[in-house]
Amino acid sequence: MRVIDLGSYPGGWSLYSSKIVGRLGHIISCDIKPMDPIKNVHFFQGDVFDRSTITRLSDNLKFPAHVILSDMCPNITGISIIDIPKCFLLTEKVIEICKFMLIPEGSCILKMFYGKNFSNQYQKIRNIFSSVKIRKPHSSIKQSNEIYIIAKRFKCGVSKI
């Protein structure tokens, strides 16, 4: 199994994924912050908005991923008119990466935030996955707009980058 972990710092999802896929699996983690080494995880530091980072992800993957995980979050200011658009840009980037690096029928888990235009973003995800669910983590404070989207059965074929 091949897994991409975006926004991987401090490494929790990568560590869990490593235990699930075992030594025969392939996990590539990427974050703008450095991360301590994890067995069976290939980490590199980079920004997903930088073309060279996307190229590096693709080159290290070799074949499309079965799962894409994204816990990416911009630096939050607490001002929703600033924070929400930044969050939506990250969601757009994850959708783009899915189109290029996820196998048909693959899965994606991504962090999102409720806010203006949430329904548009959610619909974009529903358009490319057959099953989409919203989950709010138990660890998230009640007032937080943070949610996770669990998207399964990717509908699109893999495109060239």
Question: What is the domain range of residue 33?
Answer: 2-154
Q: Is 20 helix (H, G, I), strand (E, B) or coil?
A: helix
Comparison of pLDDT for 138 and 108, the residue scoring more: 108
Q: What is the pLDDT of residues 95-114, one digit of tens each?
A: 999 999 999 999 999 999 88
DSSP secondary structure, 128-158, as one string: HEEEEEEE--TTS-TT--EEEEEEEEE-SPP
Verdict on whether the full-model pTM lies above 0.85: yes
- CATH label of the domain that carries residue 39: 3.40.50.150
The structural domain count of the chain equals 1
Active-site residue set: 111
Q: What is the dihedral of CA 85, 89, 94, 100, to 10 degrees?
A: 150
Is 63 a domain residue? yes
Rounded Cα–Cα distance for residues 20 and 37 (Å): 17
Contacts of 89 (CB under 8 A, 6+ apart): 74
Residue 78 binned pLDDT confidence (cut-offs 50, 70, 90): confident
Q: How many CB atoms lie within 10 A of CB 11?
A: 19
Is 161 a domain residue? no
